[in-house]
Amino acid sequence: ADLAMYRVKHTGGNQVLHFEAEMGEPAERRQLERDLRGAHERGELRLHYQGRFALHGVTPSGPGLVGFEALIRWEHPERGLVPPVVFIPMAEDSRAILPIGAWVLREACTQAVRWQFAERGLAMSVNVSPMQFEQPSFVQDVQAALEAAGLQPEALVLELTESLVMRDLTLAQNHIQDLKALGVQIAIDDFGTGYSSLSVLQALPFDQLKIDRSFTSHLTTSASQRVTALLTAMIQLAHSLEMTVTVEGVEDETQRRLLTGLGCDHVQGFLLARPLPPAQAQSLLPAGAESPVPS
Ligand code: C2E
Ligand code: MG
Ligand code: MG
Ligand code: MG
């Protein structure tokens, strides 16, 4: 029952269903929760990086690349790769998300400096969990991570979900105001899947809107007319509020072509690049200026 709850809350798709079937008993989930406690110290957590690409014009960094999203991976010694939709909620429940989230932030900032993001006009996007965001010290933590890595704030994007900001709108307003004063960019992630889309846009000055991949997958199904209308409206709305639009989950050429026609700015998806370990992600950077990636 607990696993079903995780699935409903975090809608992870087939990969997760498969994983849950394998996990079987609740006792196994408790074991996984115990394993998670030491995973960070044992060095089992890694970041993969997925490219985000411009659909229009040429970017300073070459063929469309505008940045990366850092996506956490847990390499379990016996189970192999555990997907974040399974273990991030567990980490939230046990507060382990705080040291994990702090590590993600530092590691992603450090990688952005190694890859000379600021010089190349690229941005590193980092997902923020609700408990992490609600720490009174969150803005200072971000500032400390930037300073420790030596990263320009403009090269960092923090991705917040609608449900995160709706938990405490006043806190979200304060933190976002302070983060923007630092120079950090803010994105609203998984847009269109929550219950409060428009009021959230009214209250909070996001720089980027990321439209959930559930819309993308319907672009080429029988629901395509309605989805096209919704995407057109969301893109227009974002532009009139001076936000950049990224559409997630682009898996084929038809989707890319349709999104280009709709005026979408950026796309992310398996068609362009999967989430990749650092050494492979690095090959997406323009040639000639790579710096070595410590493993
Ligand atoms: P998200 O932030 O919306 O990340 C996008 C997810 O979509 C990633 O799943 C990515 O692998 C997947 N994706 C990208 N392109 C495609 C595509 O073309 N098709 C399909 N089917 N999927 C695509 P992933 O890496 O499993 O992450 C799932 C969620 O876990 C993320 O959703 C984010 O909410 C959370 N997450 C990942 N890393 C972190 C982290 O470091 N901290 C926190 N708090 N949450 C994280
Ligand atoms: Mg994200
Ligand atoms: Mg997303
Ligand atoms: Mg998502």
Answer whether 129 contacts ligand 1 (Cβ < 6 A).
yes
Residue segments in the chain with a per-residue pLDDT below the cut of 50: 1-14, 294-295
Answer whether 12 contacts ligand 1 (Cβ < 6 A).
no
pLDDT of residue 220: 84
- Model confidence pLDDT, tens digit, residues 50-85: 999 999 876 666 569 999 999 999 999 999 999 999
Answer whether 88 contacts ligand 1 (Cβ < 6 A).
yes
pLDDT of residue 141: 98
Atom of ligand 1 nearest to the CA of 126: 41
Cβ(198)–Cβ(234) under 8 Å? no
Answer whether 246 contacts ligand 1 (Cβ < 6 A).
no
pLDDT of residue 21: 53
Answer whether 105 contacts ligand 1 (Cβ < 6 A).
no
Amino acid at site 145: A
Predicted TM-score (pTM) of this structure = 0.91
- The complex's ipTM? 0.98
Nearest protein Cα to ligand 1, atom 17? 249
Q: Is the dihedral of CA 60, 62, 68, 74 positive or negative?
A: negative
